[in-house]
Amino acid sequence: QSKASSVLYDGGCYCCMAAAKLLHDSGLNVIVLEARDRVGGRTYTIRNQNVKYVDLGGSYVGPTQNRILRLAKELGLETYKVNEVERLIHHVKAKSYPFRGPFPPAWNPIAYLDHNNLWRTMDDMGREIPSDAPWKAPLAEEWDYMTMKELLDKICWTELNDGDCHKSAVRLLWLQTLLVTEMCVRCDSTNFQSQGTQE
């Protein structure tokens, strides 16, 4: 039985390209098929005179994501620090509200408490994740099949997060999300872009 010497790989996102590179480095001939006119998947930057550049889709890499940072370096991709000096815009119900800080201000004190409870609960969930074997978390299977909407409905009392999250049909894959949370020790240490998740 002869060994396969060629592999046909469908898709040109970073994950697919990394897998194709690994196969190529192992001595196989690899052909990558991509329907678009570019590779990179959901990471895409638009440049023009008005905005200089805008990232669409995947935009942020955190300090613990060493593999994607290494791959970006190998591919010669530039990274940059998120601008925390300028104000951000929170656009909801056809109105825009400028603000500074990691999150839009909550005008309702109950919503503010709700928001803090959400992060505290995620901290607690993150502490249950073994970093060396996240699939062994006591509630791993339950969290993996939970949608964002189900999580927010379970934890939140207010509608603070309505419209801000892609809640429908999104699998949480909390094993990965909470593993990052556990590695960062606490969610509140990663709220600001320069301290973690958004850098």
Query: Mean pLDDT for each 10-residue chunk of the chain (199 residues)?
Result: 65 82 89 86 83 77 82 82 78 84 74 84 88 87 85 81 41 45 46 44
Give the range of the structural domain holding residue 26, as residue numbers without chain letter: 6-43
Write down the pLDDT at residue 181: 47
Write down the number of H helices and E strands in the chain. Answer: 6, 6
Write down the pLDDT at residue 109: 81
| Positions at the binding site for FAD | 34-35
* Count of structural domains, the chain: 2
- The separation between the first and the last C-alpha atoms of the chain, rounded to the nearest angstrom, is 49
In a domain, 137, yes or no: yes
Write down the pLDDT at residue 36: 87
Whether residue 56 contacts residue 46, with contact meaning beta carbons closer than 8 Å, is answered with yes
CATH of the domain at 148: 1.10.405.10
| Positions at the binding site | 34-35
H/E run at residue 99: strand 95-99
Write down the pLDDT at residue 4: 59
In a domain, 98, yes or no: no
Write down the pLDDT at residue 198: 40
Beta strands in the chain (DSSP E): 6-10, 29-33, 43-48, 52-57, 88-92, 95-99
Whether residue 41 contacts residue 16, with contact meaning beta carbons closer than 8 Å, is answered with yes
In a domain, 120, yes or no: yes
In a domain, 97, yes or no: no
pTM for the full predicted model: 0.49
Q: Which residue has the tokens 């370096």?
A: 73
In a domain, 85, yes or no: no
Write down the pLDDT at residue 59: 73
Write down the pLDDT at residue 191: 46
